[in-house]
Amino acid sequence: MRRREFLTLLGGAAAWPLAARAEQSALPLVGFLHQGSAGANDKVVGAFLRGLQGAGYEDQRNVQFEFRWADGHYDRLGSLAADLEQIPVKFTYNLRA
């Protein structure tokens, strides 16, 4: 994987803060947007999820992920981002660190 692709992947994951779904569970939510395809990036996503698991975050246990993939169609990124924006979230902050 090239550095640029990795930074894009990391930036896409970090761009969406942890938040809780309003109508479903209280699990923190991470929105993930990428210009590529899921199949072409499964190893990277797997490594990302394993890294989070090492930090104590496990998908569907204490965090939830929403993935959106453009499959190389850059013109779809805007509508996919808008789709992620439509997910009702309630931002919570713990000021007692």
- The residues near 23 (Cβ < 8 Å, ≥ 6 apart) are 88
Residue 95 in any domain: the answer is no
Residues paired with residue 20 on neighbouring β-strands, in sequence order: 28, 90
- Supply the DSSP string of 27-69, one letter for each residue: -EEEEEEESS-TGGGHHHHHHHHHHHHHTT--BTTTBEEEEEE
Residue 9 in any domain: the answer is yes
Residue 31 in any domain: the answer is yes
Q: Are 61 and 41 in contact (CB under 8 A)?
A: no
Dump pLDDT digits (tens) for 29-84: 888 889 999 999 999 899 989 998 999 988 888 888 889 999 999 999 999 999 98
Residue 82 in any domain: the answer is yes
> Into how many domains does the chain fold?
1
Instruction: Give the structural domain span for 47.
Output: 3-90
Residue range 22-31: mean pLDDT, rounded: 67
Residue 97 in any domain: the answer is no
pTM of the predicted model as reported, rounded to 2 decimal places: 0.61
Q: Which comes out higher in pLDDT, residue 88 or 12?
A: 88
Residue 14 in any domain: the answer is yes
